[in-house]
A and B are shown apart, each in its own frame.
Chain A
């Protein structure tokens, strides 16, 4: 299994509080992603990173920020959590085609966030 660890795995917080989810990989893959899972919407991309300090927005980036200060860690921050951000968050990694990868995504186990 790809070495991907998400933390925390479960969190309950209150509206307006900041929340940071961490994704840690031991595979040295270049690309990292944050997705959220919602009923009726499937998996939607929040933000992604294509290298250290290189990030970009995905489909549903409003209300989220990310940082990647080293290859192995990709942080997702909700500056002021809202109830609409209650979801299951998945981190994923992949290796670029130029580095011999296929672009296949390897997913972490997910972080369930509840905003009350």
Chain B
């Protein structure tokens, strides 16, 4: 079982604030890192699948960076909006693309 750590566990920001979270994962035998967004009462949805060291992905106001050598990834949200409120999960895949999810960072954005 892979050890995946996410921090902080939860975060409460005001609308318009920018924020970032961290995902730490084993750097040995790395080949990808997934980020998912999970809104309350819904199903998780993929944000990014990152594979290359130094990779940076962007989707609207959300972006992510990856450092495979030291085993961490950052997720950034610029100008947070209430609709960004969700739990953000990261997961490195293993055999047959099975994902070991971290416990997530719960983000609450207040208007």
Contacts and interface: CB of A to CB of B under 8 A. Distances in A.
Contacts, number: 56
Q: Chain B contact residues (Cβ within 8 angstroms of A): what range?
A: 20 to 34
Nearest to A110: B43
B99 A45 contact: yes
Interface string A47-60: 01010000010110
Given A33-B98, A45-B98, A107 B45 contact: yes
B98 A48 contact: yes
Contact of B96 (A31, A42, A43, A59): A31
A104 B43 contact: no
A77 to B, nearest CB: 20
A43 B34 contact: no
A109 B100 CA distance: 19
Interface stretch (B22-30, B67-75, B101-109): B101-109
Closest 4 CB pairs of A and B: A107-B43, A103-B97, A50-B96, A42-B103
Of B1, B101, B104, most A-chain CB atoms within 10 Å:
B101
14 contacts: A31-B96, A40-B103, A42-B103, A42-B104, A43-B101, A90-B43, A94-B97, A96-B97, A101-B97, A102-B49, A103-B32, A103-B34, A103-B93, A103-B97
A70 interface: no
Interface of B: 1, 32, 34, 36, 42-46, 49, 89, 93, 96-104
A105 B46 contact: yes
A45 B2 CA distance: 12
B35 to A, nearest CB: 10
B34 A42 contact: no
